[in-house]
Structure 1
Amino acid sequence: MNRVRYRLMALAVLPFLLAMAVDLTAFALLRDRLPDRLASHFTASGSSDDTQSHTSYLVLVLVMHIGLAALWAVVARTGDAAVRGLRWMVWVGYAVAGLVGYLMVAVLVANADAADPGRVRMPLWQLVIGAGCGALAAGIGRLLLLTVSMPAPLPSPGPGEPERLDLAEGEVAGWMRRAPSRVLLGTGLAMIATALVLLYAGGTRHALVALGGALICLAFSCPYVTVDRHGLTARPTVLPWPRIRVPLSDVDRAISREIKILAEYGGWGYRMRPGKTGLMLRSGEALVVRRAGGREFAVTVDDSATAAALLNTLADREGAKR
């Protein structure tokens, strides 16, 4: 890992660590003025409808900021430093840290000297101020990012010539690979840890939400990609549905090429862009299929050249039958 990558990771993590320090400092300064139970959740009208202990507040602050810092560290570690999308992601991290950090302090200030947590109010204009803090933090992040000498983007690879796989007449072949995503797997594991901590702290409702998010991430963290007589199919790790299928009759041609997901698709997961869709799990080697209507579908997976060659051969066979 070169110096640019280290500096990007440090800048990506920095705002969350600073926000955590501010929140913990505010708690230490206001601790003697806080009630035993803190008003922690507020309705749209600004009134409180839930409380938490001092311990659960501290655990939430630590887990939230450290978890976000870890997530942005993964983004900075795996993203392409030459693409503009990664810089935008770093700026977004500063905005998120500014917003979350302010709101956690605002909760403490609202609870200060409160005799009854049920009467604590948190008006919606606090969100406006929080958004302003996020925008200011994003501006600071943009200035800090100017200190990093970004590499020039590499030229986009050409479309390549579609390959064929030599199969004898009547010979049957299939191809299958897993397409693991370290980002989704890491996020899912981090959310499980968060759910356990929240459950221990007594936040059952929040723990269930975190656990649900973790299960969704893990279920889609390592999908199966297959090429056979049915065409191209991608399905989740352990579930038969939802699945994405491109039938052979809809395949115009398939190629293998490198994809930078932040630059071309803007992120991970199932992505939609004008003229194309994709199952984006990481940057790198991908199977790209041009469909009969002109749209493209891409999935990032290893050994995509073999998959593309087989898909072209099977599609040619299917076309010959018609």
Structure 2
Amino acid sequence: MTLVNSAAPTRPRDVAAALTLWLPVLAVIVTWLLWVDGLPDVLPRQWGRDGAVSSTMPTWAMAVVALVVSLGAAILATYWLRERGAPNRRQAYLGLGLAAGLSSCLWLTTAGVTIAAGGAEPEWGAWVLFTFTACGYGALPFLIAHKWVVPAAVVEPVDATAETTSVDLTATWTQLVTSPVMAVIGGLIVLGGIIGVIAVFGEDGQTSSVGAGVMTMVIVGLILVMTLVFAQVRVSVDRRGLRVVSRLLGIRLKQVSLDQVESAFADTVSPLGSGGWGYRMTGGRTAVVMRGGPALVVNLRRGNQFAVTVDDPHTGAALLTALGAENPSAHLASGSTMGRQAQFLS
């Protein structure tokens, strides 16, 4: 069994990195208070090829979008200060900084050029370069945060007999895993969709705007459903094997029967190394990634691997190994187990 300590102390550099993601929030709030009296009711949203404004958006809506996105990024950055977030903290800050920098910059540049022009028909000009530059804002907290150093793993032989005698084979192991990232993204999608629809319908009552509003609601609804699937999952191990089910929608995401299990062990999983959050597939390895940290990894008899991030994966792995050893159709090969335990993240 691979034992990896994924916890690490939060250092002053990590706190400083998180604080940089609160700066876009502060910038949006301060500029709104300073500029609100001088801004028109609508701000430019798009410019045509001739440089003229082609569409607009309510001023308050643009400010709220910038505030919500940057505030969500700042809250997530603060949440990632927990010790368990150390393995992928810098990568998370890089992505959060991109979202916060882009959203706040769009507000700052659009409102700023409008104030400077003294009307609702400003020219975008070279300010567009500033917006592209703001996408790299995440590099600041990324470089400030302490670099995670993977601790040495201690590998112990898997003794199926010993584990079987110490595990109640009639027991059921169940864990609920919540993904803060998916939960926040779901909330932001709902709020952003509502604001977008209001902005579209608020422009005029033409059929084109109505169609755009309906299309926006459909897209937001589909994305929201996919987000809710992975907002919280229930992971269970019993005589039926391993099951991963969406808690909110009741959709079964994965089931591994006992006759498919070759071995099971605990490891650490990073969303960046797995390709992101949600259901990931990379080179014959699948995973349900709810967050970075401890995970239950299963070697399947057909040669694939499956992992799911969950608390206390050692208990689940021990029970799954014991149940598999007692299953008549399961043929555990202890010699091959040692050679495949470290493959998932290598």
Q: Which amino acid aligns with 2:90?
A: R
Kindly state the Cα deviation for residue 313 of structure 1 after the two structures are TM-superposed: 4.2
C-alpha separation in 1, matches of 2:8 and 2:171: 40
- Give TM-score, length-normalised by structure 1: 0.71
C-alpha separation in 2, matches of 1:209 and 1:12: 32
Kindly state the Cα deviation for residue 21 of structure 1 after the two structures are TM-superposed: 3.4
Q: 1:178 to 1:3 in 2, by over 3 A?
A: closer
- In the TM superposition, 1:155-194 aligns within 5 A as 155-158=152-155, 160-161=157-158, 163=160, 164-166=163-165, 173=170, 175-181=172-178, 183-184=180-181, 187=184, 190-191=187-188, 194=191
Contact 1:103 1:130 in 2 (8 A): yes
Contact 2:171 2:238 in 1 (8 A): yes
Contact 2:295 2:310 in 1 (8 A): yes
Q: Which amino acid aligns with 2:231?
A: S
Structure 2 spans left out of the alignment, 5+ residues: 1-6, 202-212, 332-346
Q: What do residues 148-170 of structure 1 show as CA deviations (whole Å, max 9, x unaligned)?
A: 5x574311342651534359xxx
Which of 265, 272, 279 lines up with 1:270 in the alignment?
279
For the pair 1:101 / 2:104, whether they are aligned, the reply is yes
Which of 286, 311, 322 lines up with 2:320 in the alignment?
311
Which of 4, 20, 35 lines up with 1:14 in the alignment?
20
Q: 1:184 to 1:90 in 2, by over 3 A?
A: closer
Q: 1:101 to 1:55 in 2, by over 3 A?
A: closer
- In the TM superposition, 1:65-214 aligns within 5 A as 65-77=70-82, 79-81=84-86, 83=87, 85-109=88-112, 111-112=114-115, 113=117, 129-135=130-136, 137-145=137-145, 148=146, 150=147, 152-158=149-155, 160-161=157-158, 163=160, 164-166=163-165, 173=170, 175-181=172-178, 183-184=180-181, 187=184, 190-191=187-188, 194=191, 198=195
Kindly state the Cα deviation for residue 236 of structure 1 after the two structures are TM-superposed: 0.2
Root-mean-square deviation (CA, aligned residues, Å) is: 4.3
Q: Which amino acid aligns with 1:42?
A: Q
SS of the counterpart of 2:81? helix
Q: What do residues 248-275 of structure 1 show as CA deviations (whole Å, max 9, x unaligned)?
A: 33221122x2414357536543233445
State the partner residue of 1:58. Answer: 63
Percent identity between the aligned chains?
A: 23
C-alpha separation in 2, matches of 1:107 and 1:77: 36
Contact 2:296 2:310 in 1 (8 A): yes
Contact 2:243 2:252 in 1 (8 A): no
Contact 1:258 1:283 in 2 (8 A): no
Q: 1:152 to 1:277 in 2, by over 3 A?
A: same
C-alpha separation in 2, matches of 1:286 and 1:62: 34
Q: 1:3 to 1:293 in 2, by over 3 A?
A: closer
State the partner residue of 2:340. Answer: none
Kindly state the Cα deviation for residue 28 of structure 1 after the two structures are TM-superposed: 5.2
State the partner residue of 2:40. Answer: 35
